[in-house]
A and B are shown apart, each in its own frame.
Chain A
Amino acid sequence: MEKKYEILNIDETEYRTQISDSFKKRKNWQRPDESKIYSFIPGTIQDIAVKKGSNVEEGDELLILEAMKMRNKIKAPMSGKIKSILVKENEIIPKNHLIIEFE
């Protein structure tokens, strides 16, 4: 297989070298957005207790994320109004999937 050399910058020096796929595909880090709730584990959505437009208090139960035979309560991380709910009941979602967005 023909080697493909590209440029990798380390401490302001540009090295000619082969670059791994995982390095090329890495995602740039982004500051977490606190108004968005993501799944912390893959699982199934159940018992959605809020609607779009609901006002909730910090700690209120929003829905159940059932995973590994455990019914995980997903609670509001802050008080506020629900902007959108991006999942349906019985939906199977992966990890880091956007579930609920606050206004």
Chain B
Amino acid sequence: MSYPMDTGQDCLRAWEAMPWVLQESATQEQSQWLDRHLVHCASCRAEFEQQNRLRLALSLPTEIHIDANAGLKRLMDRIDAPVREETPHRLRSGSWLTRGLVAAVMVQAIAIGALSMKFWSAGEAPAYRTLSEESAPVAAGSIRVVPDASMTLTDWNALLHSLRLQVVGGPNDMGAYTVAPANSTVTTQQALKQLRAARGIRLAEPIVGTP
């Protein structure tokens, strides 16, 4: 760039300072220096006057008239437009339905979670057994016994007591009990023999293992 004046450094400095002095953003020192320069430099004085006229012309209200209130109203309408689109009555109803369904699912999920926690913390064995699982452990020497339906409880208890046997399981759906020797002095074979000979016992079979 070269400057449009055939003058020295002072005019160059004045040229650069003019816009900022005019918009009052120049330092006081810069403004005072320019004032002093303009006093004895007709060229810069003319340029400064023209710059000042330019600033005055640019500060005039625009000749293009646009209604600010109407523009603001259109802006507000535009701001409201997306809100209206998102919340019409039908959509809002759907929204409540959706919220209700979501809430129901959440409640169910919480309930399932709580139940899972309860079972997990209880550590109980399940009330069912799969075919691949081993059957519940049975004490060694256990016998499966089916008493006759006419046998009284007193007779049943007396028999078990005399044979030193105790019920460890049953009765199952077929009315069978699992009994085992109460102590090691009784052998399974002896007990089995006596059970089979006892009145009121329909079946007595040793439990030898699970298939």
Determine if chain A interacts with chain B: no
- Which residues of chain B have a CB within 8 Å of any CB of chain A? none
